[in-house]
Amino acid sequence: MAAKMIIFAACVATTLAQYAAPAYPSQGYAAPAYAAPKAYAPEPAYAPAPYSFEYAVNDPHTYDIHSQQESSDGYGNVKGSYSLVEADGSTRIVEYTADSYGFNADVK
- Strands in 51-59's sheet, in edge-to-edge order, are 51-59, 64-72, 78-85, 91-99, 102-107
CB 104 within 8 A of CB 97: yes
Q: Assess contact for 74 and 48: CB atoms under 8 A.
A: yes
pLDDT, one tens digit per residue, over 60-91 is 898 899 999 999 999 989 999 999 999 898 99
pLDDT tens digit at each of 108 positions of the chain = 777 778 887 777 777 767 666 666 666 667 778 888 888 888 888 888 999 999 999 998 988 999 999 999 999 899 999 999 998 989 999 999 999 999 999 999
Cα–Cα distance, 70 to 80 (Å, whole number): 4
Helices marked H in the chain — which ranges?
2-17
User: What is d(CA 100, CA 105) in angstroms, rounded to the nearest whole number?
Assistant: 14
Q: How far apart are CA 106 and CA 92, in angstroms?
A: 11
d(CA 52, CA 88): 31
